[in-house]
Amino acid sequence: MSTSSWASPLNDWSAAQYLKFEDERTLPARDLLSRVSLKSPKRIVDLGCGPANSTAVIESRYPDAQLVGIDSSPDMIRKAKATLPHLKFIVEDLKSYSPPEAVDLFYSNAVFQWLKKEERFEVVKRLMASQPSGGVFALQVPDNLSEPSHVLMRETAKSGPWAAKLASVGRDTFQTPQEIYDQLKPVSSRVNIFHTSYYHALENHEAIIEWVKGTGLRPFLDPLQPEEKEGFLKEYLKRLQGMYPSCVDGRVLLRYPRLFVVAVKE
């Protein structure tokens, strides 16, 4: 998928903004699914399905499974239903979601980073408890808080007239691989953790802003008035231009690290 607003103060996310980079955002969804070894799961839930780009990847591999997508964003669910009208999509809060039947595969593409750090793996373990032995929980999250795109975002937030408004904006760091392993191994027969860095060749520095507008930049922009947003984006762009060099063809490489976890229920 997708991203979602599970732990965000925002009421909704824009499916159209997110899908401006659909191919790039769907690539890790495919890479995550490629590490799932299940042959023919009966029931699958796409946690944080977004506009259904990840759900389509799952359906392509498992066309006979009962597949459901959930997301806390009504706009994402509207787009998902329009894209795959034959499937079931539900507006649900991940923190309180409980499936009515046992689920063979829980799949989550870029959602758990939005939960508070102490909540994330409590949710994972609660959902895994409902799975049959051999069931799989597969998740992927961005690991980009130390990337220039996000460091500069935070620096811009602290340096302008909007600093007071944005003082509490941000997301928790994600657990380390060992912390993840130690959380999941007691309930898993196998925990596979891997890390990949993608290098997306974007059109220019403005395209970096368009990318992060769909996800990480939203909590910084939404509290601001229009003139404040304009000033923030102008300053942020200037900082990006100073950090990301242009390539020989004028494009800009956006490095995007992601962390993957695939746990098999004991």
User: Tens of pLDDT along 195-218?
Assistant: 999 999 999 999 999 989 878 898
Q: Where are the domains of the chain?
A: 15-265
The residues pairing with 52 across neighbouring beta strands, listed in sequence order, are none
- Record the pTM: 0.89
Each residue of 18-42: b (16+ CB within 10 Å) or e?
A: bbebeeebbbbbebbbeebebeebe
Asked if residues 60 and 91 have their Cβ atoms less than 8 Å apart, the reply is: no
Asked if residues 55 and 119 have their Cβ atoms less than 8 Å apart, the reply is: no
User: Tens of pLDDT along 210-254?
Assistant: 989 878 898 999 999 999 999 999 999 999 999 999 999 999 999
**Residue 187 DSSP class:** G
Give the pLDDT of residue 136. 98
Share of the chain above pLDDT 90, in %: 85
**Residue 162 DSSP class:** T
The CATH class for the domain spanning 15-265 reads alpha beta
From the list 13, 26, 120, the residue with the least C-alpha distance to 71 is: 13
User: Tens of pLDDT along 117-173?
Assistant: 999 999 999 999 999 999 999 999 999 999 999 999 999 999 999 999 999 998 899
